[in-house]
């Protein structure tokens, strides 16, 4: 895509366009104009991301504003890095809790998504254990046939451990790199939203780094049994990383899957 031409079609005359590090789905740029600075993202899924960001904003989550969009292009508020103290992280935890309290009609999302080459199927389901088994875990049995029996065992154990229904609004890709300390406080970026159990976001955040204590304090206490559920919820991102990045994540998957 000719990013400068695409911006011009939106009536934006750029003075400087700088490539930034992006995710697996999008290219990201800093766009300087004579009046403001924006972030531009290009890629086949950015329109879905824009709808997710708007849903999160409507639920009170701290996310960058969607300013404009065109085919395969969205223009976002640019977030400037700045240190954030305890109060900002605590506020982010409270906002995450409130977002999880914003419920949909069922588990899932109206649109599918992806993490790089890994498709993420979000077809809605009224039964949360079924959603987690069929939309999140079982697809990897085809990717990793040697793990299929253990994945099946994990799926058979979900009922009675996970809630029967869960349809809170989730960020869906909640790792430390998607929580930014900025001049506007702690902001959430790069969502992969769907409706489900809020503990999913906390479980992923805890998989590769500790949940910031102030964020945990702002979120508040979890329901009893969260430790067992956290392990179950961490299987999915561990399998995603194994599929995307290979054998260095095999030990993590082996630790989480039942034997």
pLDDT in tens, 206-220: 999 999 999 999 999
What is the model's pLDDT at position 40? 96
Whether residue 48 contacts residue 113, with contact meaning beta carbons closer than 8 Å, is answered with yes
What is the model's pLDDT at position 243? 98
Mean pLDDT of 9-22: 91
Q: What percent of the chain has pLDDT over 70?
A: 99
Specify the fold of 86-256.
Answer: Aminoglycoside 3'-phosphotransferase; Chain: A, domain 2 (3.90.1200)
Widest CA span in the chain: 60
Cα dihedral sign for 231, 123, 42, 180? negative
Q: Are strands 27-32 and 73-77 parallel, antiparallel or unpaired?
A: unpaired
- As a whole number of Å, the CA-based R_g of the chain is 19
Can you list the positions of beta strands (E) in 25-122? 27-32, 37-42, 66-70, 73-77, 113-115, 118-120
pLDDT in tens, 161-191: 999 999 999 999 999 999 999 999 999 999 9
CATH superfamily of 3-77: Phosphorylase Kinase; domain 1 (3.30.200.20)
Is the fold of 3-77 the same as that of 86-256? no
* Residues constituting the chain: 259
What is the model's pLDDT at position 23? 65
> Does 24 have pLDDT greater than 80?
no
What is the model's pLDDT at position 132? 98
CA nearest 185: which of 76, 78, 62? Answer: 62
Q: What percent of the chain has pLDDT over 90?
A: 96
What is the model's pLDDT at position 1? 86
> Does 26 have pLDDT greater than 90?
no
Instruction: Name the residue ranges covered by the structural domains of the chain.
Output: 3-77, 86-256
pLDDT in tens, 44-96: 999 999 999 999 999 999 999 999 999 999 999 999 999 999 999 999 999 99
> Does 98 have pLDDT greater than 90?
yes
Specify the 3-state DSSP secondary structure of 115.
Answer: strand
> Does 22 have pLDDT greater than 80?
no
Whether residue 37 contacts residue 64, with contact meaning beta carbons closer than 8 Å, is answered with no
What is the model's pLDDT at position 191? 97
> Does 25 have pLDDT greater than 80?
no
Whole-angstrom distance, CA of residue 111 vs CA of residue 123: 7
pLDDT in tens, 248-257: 999 999 999 9
pLDDT in tens, 148-162: 999 999 999 999 999
Mean pLDDT of 98-105: 98
Based on the residue annotation, tell me whether 173 is a catalytic residue of this protein.
Answer: yes
Query: Considering 173, 190, 201, 254, which one is annotated as catalytic?
Result: 173
């Amino acid at each position: 895509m000719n990013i400068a031409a695409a911006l011009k079609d939106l009536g934006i005359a750029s003075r400087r366009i700088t490539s930034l590090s992006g995710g697996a789905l999008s290219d990201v740029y800093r766009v300087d104009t004579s009046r403001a600075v924006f972030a531009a993202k290009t890629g086949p899924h950015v329109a879905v991301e824009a709808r997710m960001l708007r849903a999160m904003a409507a639920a009170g989550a701290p996310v960058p504003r969607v300013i404009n969009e065109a085919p395969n292009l969205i223009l976002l508020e640019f977030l400037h890095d700045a240190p954030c103290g305890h109060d900002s992280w605590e506020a982010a935890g409270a906002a995450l809790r409130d977002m999880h309290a914003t419920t949909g009609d069922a588990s899932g999302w109206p649109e599918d998504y992806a993490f790089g080459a890994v498709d993420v199927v979000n077809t809605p389901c009224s039964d949360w254990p079924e959603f987690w088994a069929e939309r999140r875990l079982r697809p990897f049995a085809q990717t990793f046939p040697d793990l299929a029996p253990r994945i099946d065992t994990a799926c058979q154990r979900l009922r009675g451990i996970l809630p029967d229904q869960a349809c809170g609004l989730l960020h869906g890709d909640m790792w430390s790199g998607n929580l930014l300390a900025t001049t506007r406080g702690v902001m959430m970026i790069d969502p992969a939203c769907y409706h489900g159990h809020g503990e999913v976001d906390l479980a992923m955040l805890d998989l590769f780094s500790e949940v910031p204590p102030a964020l945990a304090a702002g979120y508040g206490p979890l329901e009893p049994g969260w430790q067992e559920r956290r392990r179950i919820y961490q299987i999915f991102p561990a399998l995603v990383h194994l599929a995307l990045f290979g054998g260095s994540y095999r030990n993590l998957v082996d630790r989480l899957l039942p034997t």
